[in-house]
Structure 1
Amino acid sequence: MRIIIASNNAHKIGEIKTMLKEFDLEVLGLQDAGIDLDVEEDQDTFMGNAYKKAKEIYDHLTPEAQENTWVLSDDTGLAVEALHGAPGVYSARYSGVAHDDAGNNRKLLKELQGIPEEGRGAKFVTAMVLLGKKLDIRVFGEVQGRILESLNGQGGFGYDPLFFSFDLGKSFGEATEAEKNSVSHRGRALEALLRELKHDENRGGF
């Protein structure tokens, strides 16, 4: 069985591969699978975007490929209390340009300028979907924290250097990959997904 991750983000693919390494699965990104399909993330919820990506990519596969392939898709974003849940589904393009991490972080800091520590609560949210033949699993994962007043740490990507994790007592930018994976929103969503798979009587687990 193979899983195609609905992404070309090397960081994301690497995280998911690490989390799945104990299972006998071939894990591929879109480029590895030879798929050149850019799904527009135009839904108004994380789960809506995640499902749309998984469905369009699965439907793009040949009938033969669908027999032994699952498509794993997620939509992840940052929800800041003081900004009424923003940037939310626009997290990757908050500054107006997709995946401009530096620009997104600058805008977030500007929007929160003058707001004290106790008002900077935030959470990372991941909605995750796994689609296959007669398989449709949808789960969420969350991690709580707050937004720092400046970048802290060189690790991770996206908003990681600004997100102080309550679980770790440090920013995701300061955390090792193993530390982040142990508490991360994507990790928790994936754990929930794997629990669902293991209890799927039709599949008999892994």
Structure 2
Amino acid sequence: MRIVLATSNKGKVREIIELLHDREVFPYTDLIEGFEIIEDGATFKENALIKARAVYAALGDAEAVVIADDSGISVDILGGAPGIYSARYGGEGASDRDNLLKLVEALKEKGAECSDAHYTAAIAIVSKEGESCVHGWMHGSVGTILKGENGFGYDPIFTPAGYAQTLGELANDVKKGLSHRSKALELAKILIDQIKFLRTQTGSLATK
């Protein structure tokens, strides 16, 4: 059973493949040419489903299982921003660094050195069996000083609850246990295994 990721973000691809290491996983751009997907949903769930549906349709492979992640950071003092706009917070074509620096500036404009914040990950699964979506969260705080080179996105300024180091400083094995995406993927694995089981049962009945 081929699992296809509806993303071309190298950081996300690397992290998801590591977390789903025991399964056959491909970024969709390994199979078809990349294309623009308009993420106009109002929630992480809606945007994840939009991406998964678009890639599933474009693949033209009814047997594929497509998973799409939509995730971001919500900062309390900024009223929950950047939220679903995390990946494009710095404007059209903004890099991870641009987004990060804009968030730091937004905190400084509020006169804050830190704020409570949380990450959300929504993972949508689309296959011939139907659609579903699961979530994971990671709580902590953000600050204005960048620390660490490990990770991507807002990792250098986010400190998980109960830790003194940012995600940019923590080792990968520690981050995996804390990650909003890893928590959502653990739930997604259960659904993927259910799809695999259903297909095995259907195949067995078809040969009888």
TM-score (normalised: structure 1): 0.89
The aligned amino acid for 1:161 is P
Query: What is the CA-CA distance between 1:51 and the residue it aligns to?
Result: 0.3
Q: 1:202 aligns with which of 186, 198, 204?
A: 198
Q: 1:189 aligns with which of 176, 179, 184?
A: 184
Cross-structure match for 1:159 = 154
Q: 1:143 aligns with which of 133, 138, 145?
A: 138
Cross-structure match for 2:204 = none
Query: What is the CA-CA distance between 1:131 and the residue it aligns to?
Result: 0.8
Structure-2 separation of matches of 1:195 and 1:61 = 24
Query: What is the CA-CA distance between 1:167 and the residue it aligns to?
Result: 4.6
Q: Which runs of 5+ in 2 are unaligned?
A: 202-208
The aligned amino acid for 2:112 is I
Is 2:112 aligned against 1:115?
A: yes
Deviations 1:94-149 (A, max 9, x none): 111344122212211111112254xx000010111011111322100100010022
Structure-2 separation of matches of 1:145 and 1:152 = 15
Contact 1:72–1:130 (Cα < 8 Å) also in 2: yes
Comparing 93-102 and 194-203, the one that deviates more = 194-203
The aligned amino acid for 1:128 is I
Coordinate RMSD, CA, aligned: 1.9
The aligned amino acid for 2:45 is M
Q: Which residues in structure 2 correspond to 1:42-57 (within 5 Å)?
A: 42-57=40-55
The aligned amino acid for 1:141 is G
Is 2:68 aligned against 1:73?
A: yes
Structure-1 separation of matches of 2:59 and 2:29 = 14
The aligned amino acid for 1:87 is P
Cross-structure match for 2:4 = 4
Contact 1:164–1:170 (Cα < 8 Å) also in 2: yes
The aligned amino acid for 1:6 is A
Structure-1 separation of matches of 2:25 and 2:133 = 19
Secondary structure class of the residue paired with 2:198: coil
Structure-1 separation of matches of 2:116 and 2:17 = 30
Comparing 146-155 and 191-200, the one that deviates more = 191-200
Secondary structure class of the residue paired with 1:35: coil
The aligned amino acid for 2:15 is E
Contact 1:145–1:165 (Cα < 8 Å) also in 2: yes
Q: 2:33 aligns with which of 28, 32, 35?
A: 35
Contact 2:113–2:144 (Cα < 8 Å) also in 1: no
Structure-2 separation of matches of 1:26 and 1:194 = 12
Structure-2 separation of matches of 1:105 and 1:197 = 33
Structure-2 separation of matches of 1:71 and 1:56 = 10
Identity %: 35
Secondary structure class of the residue paired with 2:138: strand
Query: What is the CA-CA distance between 1:151 and the residue it aligns to?
Result: 0.3
